[in-house]
């Protein structure tokens, strides 16, 4: 990224040295992990470009939007409805996480045994290296796991624009009522932020925009059921990650372009890996950029990841929102219905998630499931055991992995992943 | 033709060569040291073979230097153990840095496995450091522990914490044989729980360097309620498995 962004980053209050260091690591990892892959689809070049400009051109675009009076809302969770932000003339973006940063500073505010995802989001703030966070007019925190909801209490002292969204933990009538109240409260807060009142037309447009984006990602996912898989799991994960940063319409168009190329590949039986390669479904915690460690180990060990049962993946974009309503209230109900189906591990009980993992294993013809849990992430780590048991009952082998963003376990992780792949061959 | 398997572990390197009839014709061992490739090279020069396959931590390094195929220690141990003991239903391998528990289908294929992640607590390295803290050599540690009349409970499995716990027990005038038994028991409980989690059926083969420790065998047999199958050279099982795989078994 050129010199011309320096002044922009300075104005945002970033720490230039730290930020340079971060970008260097990111570029190196991207080069080693993504660009070194063989037989990548040509249309992936768009995502390569987006990643190379993830803190550059995209931030400039957002700042241009802000100049025209548009507001930027940052979020950490798929429960924050993008439709509502868009309908009120705001842009929703995912905030930085996925790498260890400024850990010493973070551990002054959070216990050491906090999950890497939470620590990372604090690290990006304390280290002043996330231009998305610094561009946001409103930051939405959400009461998901105990770690996140309690950490937002501390996060509040670091930013002056934190909005907290409560979330239900049981899929009952009362749970839905809670979500409904929260989404209407969020709608009001967004309207106050932007000064724009959401109308039936603007909401319908927003629903269609987000549906198109989700449908495109889903179209991409479904192409992966073919053998040979036409795209690597790493490249598909990248699309799922960029989902949270990019301009929605442009993203949709670009994903559809990839799908068109992949459809041709499928017809010609061209794959990112040879036919009969061991197929893995990755299930569990979300993987924000640049958390590519486990998928890279899996694919460098000779298997292909054919699906992500994750918030950054199918859990986050499986369902579309019904856009047939004619009033704001009707469409708000449809939005609530759509989001209430997300089978996050904060819900209890959460049998739907196990059903979805089994269903995805069949749809994408996975030979085995790797369950990915971030260390100290109780909800997903606790669900890992029942998930493994349920899969064993169906004779689907499962490997449970518990890790973080560091590289200290890379050796052991590689051995376990390789042994799992040997077991599936 | 002869077929070799080399197991480059964190503490030692083993090289096993088998002939067409799967009989062991050579078996060599060396310390890994800090230059495993040179050590591996020295071993390979001492015997004749036509093909070689590598396993263990150093397998990828060996693959680059010798252009040899590789296999994980999990698969290598499974095949090695199943060949030595056809009745094997599971394998417990406690090596220098890793503990692995593997269960098998009747046909010998891997059903399920577990392995410690990141920390080497409860492995050979842990026992080695504790033996040193108590002034025993690693070879006599197990025999000395068996001389204890009762077990002193050790609460920490972290090597550094356990070492300071041992230091304070010694300072408190406790019997070092009893401390030694307590340390063995804590490693045993961890290993027994790992092997139980892979749901073993039938006989359990105990491999790796720690399988040479008589106290560990006794404690595990008591806890698991069955006799363990222990090869004469438990450290060679991974290399044997790799040699057999190299033959195409």
In the sheet where A90-94 sits, what is the strand order? A90-94, A71-75, A138-142, A162-165
DSSP state of B110: E
What is the structure's pLDDT at A3?
Answer: 58
Q: Quick check: A412 and B116 CB within 8 A? A: yes
Q: Residues of B numbered 81-140 whose beta carbons fall under 8 angstroms of chain A's beta carbons: which are they?
A: 98, 109-110, 112-113, 115-118
According to CATH, the topology of domain A204-320+345-424 is Rossmann fold (3.40.50)
Determine the CATH number of domain A7-63+71-170: 3.40.50.11890
State how far residue B74 is from chain A, nearest Cα, in angstroms.
6
Chain A residues near residue B57 by CB distance under 8 angstroms: 411, 415
Name the one residue in this structure whose structure tokens are 């139980």.
B196
Q: Quick check: A413 and B117 CB within 8 A? A: yes
In this structure, whether the domain defined by B87-230 belongs to CATH 3.30.420.40 is answered with: yes
Reduced 3-state DSSP string for chain A? CCHHHHHHHHHCCCCHHHHHHHHHHHHHHHHHHHHCCCCCCHHHHHHHHHHHCCCCHHHHHHHHHHHCCCEEEEECCCCCCHHHHHHCCEEEEECCCCCCCCHHHHCCCCCCCCCHHHHHHHHHHHCCCCHHHHHCCEEEEECCCHHHHHHHHHHCCCCCCEEEECCCCCCCHHHHHHHHHHHHHHHHHHHHHHCCCCCHHHHHHHHHHHHHHHHHHHHHHHHCCCCCCCCCHHHHHHHHHHCCCCCHHHHHHHHHHHHHHHHHHHHHCCCCCCCCCCEEEEEECCCCCCCCHHHHHHHHCCCEEEEEECCCCHHHHCCCCCCCCCCHHHHHHHHHHHHHCCCCCCCCCCHHHHHHHHHHHHHCCCCEEEEEEECCCHHHHHHHHHHHHHHHHCCCCEEEEEECCCCCCHHHHHHHHHHHHHHHC
Do A204-320+345-424 and A7-63+71-170 fall under one CATH topology?
yes
CA distance A343 to A356: 9
Q: Of the candidates B71, B112, B118, which has its C-beta nearest A412's C-beta? A: B118
- B52 in helix, strand or coil? strand
* Confidence at B118, pLDDT banded by 50, 70, 90: confident
Joined tokens for residue A157: 């002292």
**Which sequence spans correspond to the domains of chain A?**
7-63+71-170, 204-320+345-424
CA distance B158 to B135: 19
Name the one residue in this structure whose structure tokens are 């973080």.
A404
Joined tokens for residue A24: 């260097």
Report pLDDT digits (tens) over B94-110.
998 899 999 999 999 99
Q: Quick check: B117 and A402 CB within 8 A? A: yes
Per DSSP bridges, beta strands B12-18 and B24-31 are antiparallel
State how far residue A12 is from chain B, nearest Cα, in angstroms.
39
Q: Of the candidates B74, B116, B118, which has its C-beta nearest A419's C-beta? A: B74
Chain B residues near residue A415 by CB distance under 8 angstroms: 57, 72-74, 98, 115
Q: Quick check: A419 and B72 CB within 8 A? A: yes
Mean pLDDT of successive 10-residue segments in chain A (425 residues)?
82 96 95 96 96 96 97 98 98 96 97 97 97 98 97 97 98 98 98 98 98 98 98 98 97 98 97 97 97 97 98 96 97 98 97 98 98 98 97 97 95 95 96
> Is the CB of residue B218 less than 8 Å away from at least one CB of chain A?
no
State how far residue B76 is from chain A, nearest Cα, in angstroms.
10
CA distance B242 to A331: 62
What is the structure's pLDDT at B116?
Answer: 87
Q: What is the pTM of this model?
A: 0.95
User: How far from B55 is each of B10, B88, B152, B206, CA to CA, in Å?
Assistant: 12, 21, 38, 18
Chain A residues near residue B72 by CB distance under 8 angstroms: 415, 418-419, 422
Residue of chain B nearest A416, judged by CA positions: B115
Chain A residues near residue B201 by CB distance under 8 angstroms: none
State how far residue B135 is from chain A, nearest Cα, in angstroms.
31
Q: Quick check: B118 and A408 CB within 8 A? A: yes
Name the one residue in this structure whose structure tokens are 């060396």.
B30
Among A300, A404, A416, A425, most B C-beta atoms within 10 A, so best to mutate, is A416
Q: Quick check: B110 and A423 CB within 8 A? A: yes
Determine the CATH number of domain B1-85+233-249: 3.30.420.40
- B112 in helix, strand or coil? strand
Q: Residues of B numbered 27-86 whose beta carbons fall under 8 angstroms of chain A's beta carbons: which are they?
A: 57, 71-75
ipTM of the complex: 0.93
What is the structure's pLDDT at A386?
Answer: 97
Q: Quick check: A411 and B57 CB within 8 A? A: yes
Question: Mean pLDDT over all residues of chain B?
Answer: 95
Report pLDDT digits (tens) over B13-61.
999 999 999 999 999 999 999 999 999 999 999 999 999 999 999 999 9
Ranges A6-20, A345-359, B66-80, B150-164: which has the least confidence: B150-164
Looking at the DSSP assignment, which residues form a beta bridge with residue A138?
A: A73
**Which sequence spans correspond to the domains of chain B?**
1-85+233-249, 87-230
Do B87-230 and B1-85+233-249 fall under one CATH topology?
yes
Joined tokens for residue A297: 């180990």
């Amino acid at each position: 990224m050129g010199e011309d962004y320096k002044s922009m980053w300075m104005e945002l209050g970033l720490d230039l040295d730290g930020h340079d260091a971060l970008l260097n690591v990111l570029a190196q990892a991207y080069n080693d992990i993504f660009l070194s892959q063989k037989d990548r689809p040509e249309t992936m070049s768009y995502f390569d470009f987006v990643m190379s400009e993830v803190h550059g051109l995209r931030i400039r675009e957002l700042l241009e939007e802000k100049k025209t009076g548009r507001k930027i809302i940052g979020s950490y969770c798929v429960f924050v409805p993008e439709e509502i932000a868009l309908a009120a003339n705001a842009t929703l973006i995912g905030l930085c996480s996925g790498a260890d940063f400024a850990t010493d500073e973070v551990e002054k505010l959070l216990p050491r045994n906090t999950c890497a995802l939470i620590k990372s989001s604090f690290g990006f703030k304390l280290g002043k290296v996330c231009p998305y966070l610094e561009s946001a007019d409103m930051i939405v925190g959400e009461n998901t796991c105990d770690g996140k909801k309690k950490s937002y209490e501390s996060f509040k002292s670091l930013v002056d624009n934190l909005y907290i969204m409560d979330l239900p933990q049981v899929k009952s009538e009362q749970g839905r009522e809670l979500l409904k109240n929260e989404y209407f409260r969020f709608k009001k807060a967004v309207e106050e932020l932007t000064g724009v009142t959401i109308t039936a037309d603007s909401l319908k447009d927003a629903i269609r925009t987000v549906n198109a984006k989700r449908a495109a990602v889903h179209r991409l996912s479904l192409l992966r059921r073919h053998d040979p898989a036409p795209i690597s799991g790493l490249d598909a994960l990248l699309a799922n990650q960029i989902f949270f940063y990019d301009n929605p319409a442009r993203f949709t168009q670009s994903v559809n372009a990839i799908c068109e190329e992949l459809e041709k590949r499928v017809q010609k039986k061209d794959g990112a890996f040879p036919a009969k390669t061991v197929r893995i479904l990755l299930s569990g915690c979300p993987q924000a950029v640049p958390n590519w460690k486990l998928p890279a180990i899996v694919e460098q060990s000779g298997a292909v990841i054919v699906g992500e049962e994750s918030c950054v993946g199918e859990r986050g974009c499986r369902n579309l929102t019904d856009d047939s309503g004619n009033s704001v209230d009707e469409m708000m109900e449809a939005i609530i219905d759509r989001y209430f189906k997300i089978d996050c591990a904060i819900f209890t009980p959460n049998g739907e998630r196990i059903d979805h993992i089994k269903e995805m294993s069949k749809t994408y013809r996975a030979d085995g499931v790797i369950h990915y849990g971030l260390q100290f992430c109780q909800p997903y780590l606790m669900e890992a055991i029942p998930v493994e048991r349920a899969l064993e009952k169906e004779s689907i082998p499962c490997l449970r992995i518990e890790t973080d963003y560091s590289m200290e376990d890379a050796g052991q992780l590689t051995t376990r992943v390789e042994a799992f792949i040997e077991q599936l061959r | 033709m002869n077929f070799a398997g080399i197991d480059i572990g964190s503490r030692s390197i083993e090289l096993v060569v088998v002939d067409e009839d799967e009989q062991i014709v050579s078996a060599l061992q060396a310390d890994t040291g800090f230059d495993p490739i040179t050590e591996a090279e020295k071993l390979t020069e001492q015997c004749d073979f036509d093909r070689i396959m590598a396993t263990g931590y150093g397998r990828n390094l060996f693959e680059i230097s010798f252009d040899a195929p590789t296999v994980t220690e999990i698969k290598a141990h499974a095949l090695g153990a199943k060949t030595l003991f056809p009745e094997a239903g599971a394998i417990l391998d406690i090596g220098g840095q890793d503990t692995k528990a593997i269960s098998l289908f009747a046909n010998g294929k891997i059903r399920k496995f577990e392995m410690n992640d990141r920390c080497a607590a409860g492995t050979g390295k842990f026992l080695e450091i504790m033996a040193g803290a108590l002034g025993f050599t690693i070879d006599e540690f197990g025999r000395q522990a068996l001389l204890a009349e009762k077990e002193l409970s050790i609460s920490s499995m972290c090597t550094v914490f356990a070492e300071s716990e041992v230091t304070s027990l010694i300072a408190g005038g406790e019997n070092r044989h009893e401390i030694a038994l307590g340390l063995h028991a804590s490693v045993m409980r961890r290993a027994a729980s790992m092997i139980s989690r892979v749901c073993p059926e039938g006989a359990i083969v105990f491999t790796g360097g720690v399988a040479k420790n008589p106290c560990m065998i006794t404690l595990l047999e008591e806890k698991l309620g069955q006799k363990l199958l222990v090869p004469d050279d438990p450290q060679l099982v991974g290399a044997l498995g790799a040699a057999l795989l190299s033959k195409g078994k």
